[in-house]
């Protein structure tokens, strides 16, 4: 009876899907995969996989670019067999999206296998995500960000924090359950505000000591418990560069995989031009400086990588195109260019 019900339900879903837009169809399909382990198991057997090794994504280099190859389920089963792994391992994967044709994408960490063996079998390498970020295109970068964040969350939430008992993931990996007391754990994200501060004619960019040489970005900071976004913007700008925000407005948001899983909430802010003297908090930042429109426009034209000048200093360069910091900077340039002289 249950099987008949499932078959009827799938047929109805299929017909329903054909009547709706690609986007709606994809979202409904992903929702079903998260809710229905049976359907998700089927999808795992016909979907494609992004591979990781201890959270390093598997990448192939084509020229100066990195690509994240999608491995078919049949190819993955062949590899698992070759390395004497049970094909059940597919079920350790997490769902990260689907194509317009509703072919599911999963991510799987093969950390229990010998890294070099897989690399030579698949002709590529497991690369630290942040190192590859500047060479990936936006679609690959956002899928890998989501995949790494989800895999990391599962790896660090194997036990219930109340009972200490093992938790079990659903097939899609959208939650974990402690079957002793029924507690459901959902993947977590930390809200982070990222703010591009302007004094009317210049914008403020900063760098942490851990950034690659010459790279500057907008100010960023985690929201504290109990804060509104507006309060976080005001506090972070005061804390990090000693300035008082005059006005602010929201621009856009983006998932970011570092240090764990963050929701970057991007804002523009202004400070009073008469009160724009920067006092850098050296515990948080290595440097913070006002940059003119010309300097920023020139930096946007540069390749996103360290470039040493003749005087030994590094030229200003900015986060990659698809990073929300880059988008804030582009928006500021556009606003400045539209301002009356």
Ligand X SMILES: NC(=O)C1=CN([C@@H]2O[C@H](COP(=O)(O)OP(=O)(O)OC[C@H]3O[C@@H](n4cnc5c(N)ncnc54)[C@H](O)[C@@H]3O)[C@@H](O)[C@H]2O)C=CC1
Residues at the interface with ligand X (CB under 6 A)? 190, 192, 194, 217, 220-222, 256, 258-259, 262, 264, 284, 319, 323-325
Helix (H, G, I), strand (E, B) or coil at 306: coil
Q: Phi, psi at residue 230, to the nearest 5°?
A: -60, -40
Stretch (H or E) spanning 203:
strand 202-207
180 binds, among Mg ion, ligand X, none (CB under 5 to 8 A by kind): none
Closest by CA to 297, choosing from 282, 274, 316, is 316
Q: Phi, psi at residue 255, to the nearest 5°?
A: -75, 145
262 binds, among Mg ion, ligand X, none (CB under 5 to 8 A by kind): ligand X
Q: How far is the CB of 2 from ligand X (least distance, A)?
A: 43
163 binds, among ligand X, Mg ion, none (CB under 5 to 8 A by kind): none
296 binds, among ligand X, Mg ion, none (CB under 5 to 8 A by kind): none
Q: Which residue is nearest to ligand X (CB)?
A: 325
Q: Does residue 221 belong to the site contacting Mg ion (CB under 5 A)? A: yes
SS3 content of the chain, % helix, strand, coil (to 5): 40, 25, 35
211 binds, among Mg ion, ligand X, none (CB under 5 to 8 A by kind): none
Determine the interface stretch with Mg ion among 50-58, 108-116, 216-224, 250-258 (rule: CB under 5 A). 216-224
The runs of H, that is alpha helices, within 163-292 are: 229-241
User: Which DSSP state fits 171?
Assistant: T
**327 alpha carbon, distance to own chain's centre:** 15
CB nearer to ligand X: pick between 50 and 256: 256
Determine the interface stretch with Mg ion among 17-25, 33-41, 221-229, 310-318 (rule: CB under 5 A). 221-229
Q: How far is the CB of 219 from Mg ion (least distance, A)?
A: 6
Number of residues lying near Mg ion (CB under 5 A)? 2
CB nearer to Mg ion: pick between 108 and 329: 329
CA distance 142 to 148: 10
Determine the interface stretch with Mg ion among 60-68, 135-143, 173-181, 219-227 (rule: CB under 5 A). 219-227
CA distance 105 to 30: 10
Q: How far is the CB of 120 from ligand X (least distance, A)?
A: 32
CB nearer to Mg ion: pick between 228 and 274: 228
Q: Does residue 187 belong to the site contacting Mg ion (CB under 5 A)? A: no
In sequence order, the β-bridge partners of residue 253 are: 265
SS (H, E, C) 30-81: HHHHHHCHHHHHHHHHHCEEEEEECCEEEEEEECCEEECCCEEHHHHHHHHH
CB nearer to ligand X: pick between 148 and 262: 262
Binding stretches for Mg ion (CB under 5 A): 220-221
């Amino acid at each position: 009876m249950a099987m008949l019900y499932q078959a009827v339900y799938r047929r109805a879903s299929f017909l329903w899907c054909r009547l709706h837009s690609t986007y709606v169809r994809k979202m409904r399909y992903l929702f079903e995969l998260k809710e229905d382990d049976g359907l998700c198991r089927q999808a795992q057997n016909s979907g494609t996989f992004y591979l990781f090794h201890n959270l390093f994504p598997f990448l192939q280099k084509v020229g100066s670019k990195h690509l994240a190859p999608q491995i078919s389920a049949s190819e993955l089963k062949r590899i698992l067999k070759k390395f004497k792994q049970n094909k059940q391992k597919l079920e350790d994967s997490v769902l990260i999206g689907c194509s317009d044709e509703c072919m599911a994408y999963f991510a799987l960490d093969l950390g229990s296998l010998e890294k070099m063996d897989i690399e030579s079998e698949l002709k590529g390498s497991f690369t630290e995500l942040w190192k590859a970020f500047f060479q990936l295109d936006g679609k690959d970068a956002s899928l890998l960000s989501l995949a790494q964040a989800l895999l990391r969350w599962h790896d660090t939430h194997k036990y219930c924090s109340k009972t200490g008992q093992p938790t079990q993931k659903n097939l899609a990996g959208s939650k974990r359950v402690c079957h002793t007391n029924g507690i459901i754990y959902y993947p977590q994200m930390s809200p982070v505000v990222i703010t591009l501060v302007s004094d009317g004619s210049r914008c403020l960019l900063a760098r942490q000591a851990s950034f690659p040489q010459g790279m500057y970005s907008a100010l960023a900071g985690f929201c504290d418990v109990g804060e509104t976004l507006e309060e976080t913007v005001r506090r972070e700008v005061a804390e990090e560069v000693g300035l008082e925000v005059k006005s602010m407005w929201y621009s856009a948001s983006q998932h970011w995989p570092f240090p764990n899983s963050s929701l970057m909430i991007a804002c523009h802010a202004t400070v009073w031009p008469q009160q724009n003297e920067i006092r850098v908090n050296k515990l948080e930042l290595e440097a913070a400086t006002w940059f003119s429109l010309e300097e920023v426009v020139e930096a946007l034209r540069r390749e996103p990588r360290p470039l040493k000048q003749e005087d030994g200093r590094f030229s200003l360069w900015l986060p990659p195109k698809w990073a929300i910091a880059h988008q804030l900077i582009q928006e500021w340039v556009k606003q400045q260019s539209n301002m009356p002289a």
